[in-house]
Structure 1
Amino acid sequence: MGNEYRIALAGNPNTGKSTLFNALTGLRQHTGNWAGKTVSLAQGSVEYKNKTFQFIDLPGTYSLFSNSKDEEVARNYIVFEKPDVTLVVLDATSLERNFNLALQVLEMTKNVIICINLIDIAEKQGIEIKERLLTNRLGVPVIKISARNKIGFPLLLDTIDRIVTGAIECQPLVLQYPDEIEEKIRQIEPHVRAIVGDHVSARWVALRLLDGDESLLDEINRLITLKGAS
């Protein structure tokens, strides 16, 4: 349906990601099977401005390098299922540690919102978060929230709405690696793009191939096989 949008929630364990999911969706939740997979993901809906936002609560992970089944599930959903928006939930009291995952997501997909949760606790600890500065540097909206107290929810939903309607265009920060790695990316990227097209970030796939991510190769091969058979 044209007024339904899928919103994925990603984040480290204990950042309040599932608290945010529960607070937003309330009783409008169910556990659904990911199409073609045996994996079940919690899903819940929110009605907003004549649209339905379908939230998907991905497994909590510290990275998306497919070192575990949870990482693989979260990564594959963001990359191959292409949700309309991906929310990355960070703990305001541990931003430096949490940003590792956020930067990985920014390499994988364009429409991202960084949700800095537990802002009430951070403020009590004297931690100041300059969300406008972060928004400018990261190229995507950064919003301060408290999932437990439902602080920041109107702005969050409005920002999702503005992204899916095109009022906000995200321009994620492109991380620059040492010259040697950048040169290898330039060599590999055109070949990757010839295979995956525009469906997946060719730069991100090139990076993962340089890192020897065999499970990603397996998944790409599976999708190419399915596409060829259809």
Structure 2
Amino acid sequence: MNNREYTIALAGNPNTGKSTLFNVLTGLRQHTGNWPGKTVVHAEGFFTYKDEQYRIIDLPGTYSLYSNSVDEEVARDFIIFAKPDVTLVVLDATALERNLNLALQVLEMTDRVIVCLNLMDEAKKKGIVIDIAKLSKKLGVPVVPLAARNKEGIEELLETIVRMVHGEIKTKPIVVSYSRAIEEKITKLLPLVKEIVGEEYPARWVALRLLDGDTSLLHALQHQPHHLLKGVPNYACHCSAKSI
């Protein structure tokens, strides 16, 4: 048995079946509490597949990772600072356009992503047809169709997880293009951000958060152990990317 334990983050909008998938994967091997210093529920579980151990963290259900709430900050910080081996983003196949907003945000943060297209049974009932291969190619990461409550697609998901943790899947996440003004500001900020965070964090994403005046991220960066990031606030732009 491989002694290493792989960490999986489970992200998604509320009501996408994320918790159902968590329960299917972990069964009774799970426990809940609160995130350290937060009132947000922390759900963690474990499972074994092909003699390998996995720890799965069910992140709070959120519509974005822009730190507008404690839930969003918790989910954002875990993906960025804990650096899970895989982040599963659970989408509702019946409301794909709305759900893709969160998926695109996660893809700006990490390339170790598997998109779980859940509620495929409901989509079928509504006559919704999704080209899985085309969506996967567009997003640049694996997309696995699921009906978690019926345990459909779980085996394919597990196989995809195994391939990703062993480096057999090479992803190339889509790069979201913003307005010319924002892209120019990102270009100016990138060298400064890379000088501070190096390869530790996704520089483009950090630059975007700085442009959006995300002070909670600056605070979180400063308080990460082993990283002297006192220069970060000097590069904060107190303007919103939405208003540029």
TM-score bucket of the superposed structures, by smaller chain: over 0.9
* Conserved? CA contact 1:64–1:104, under 8 Å: yes
CA distance in 2 between counterparts of 1:128 and 1:179 reads: 34
CA RMSD in angstroms, aligned pairs only: 1.6
- Residue 127 of structure 2 corresponds to 126
Distance 2:67 2:56 in 1: 22
Could you tell me how far 1:38 is from its partner in structure 2? 2.7
3-state SS, counterpart of residue 155 of structure 2: helix
Structure 2 Cα separation of the partners of residues 69 and 111 of structure 1: 24
- Report the TM-score when normalising by structure 1: 0.94
Residue identity matched to 1:13: P
Q: Which consecutive aligned stretches of 4+ in structure 1 deviate over 6 angstroms post-superposition?
A: none
One-letter amino acid of the structure 2 residue matched with residue 26 of structure 1: G
Aligned to 1:227: 227
Distance, in Å, in 2 between the alignment partners of 1:140 and 1:53 is 20
- CA drift of 1:48 comes to 1.0
Q: Percent same amino acid at aligned positions?
A: 61
Work out whether 1:191 is the aligned partner of 2:192. yes
Corresponding residue for residue 176 of structure 1: 177
- The amino acid across from 1:129 in the alignment is I
Equivalent runs, 1:13-32 vs 2, <5 Å:
13-31=14-32
Unaligned runs of 5+ in 2: 229-244
- The answer on whether the counterparts of 1:3 and 1:50 sit within 8 Å (CA) in structure 2 is no
Corresponding letter in the other structure for 1:120? D
> Counterpart amino acid of 2:227?
K
The SS at the match of 2:149 is coil
**One-letter code aligned to 2:129:** E
Contiguous gaps of at least 5 residues in structure 1: none
| Paired positions, count | 226
Q: Deviations over 1:21-66 (max 9, x none)?
A: 01110011123665xx334521111111221111100000000000
Q: Which residue of 1 aligns with 2:105?
A: 104
Deviation, structure 1 residue 198:
1.2
Aligned to 2:37: 38
For residues 184-207 of structure 1, the C-alpha deviation after alignment (integer angstroms, 9 at most, x for no partner) is 111101111111121210100000
The structural deviation recorded for 1:227 is 3.5
TM-score, normalization: structure 2?
A: 0.89
Equivalents in 1 of 2:44, 2:33: separation in Å?
7
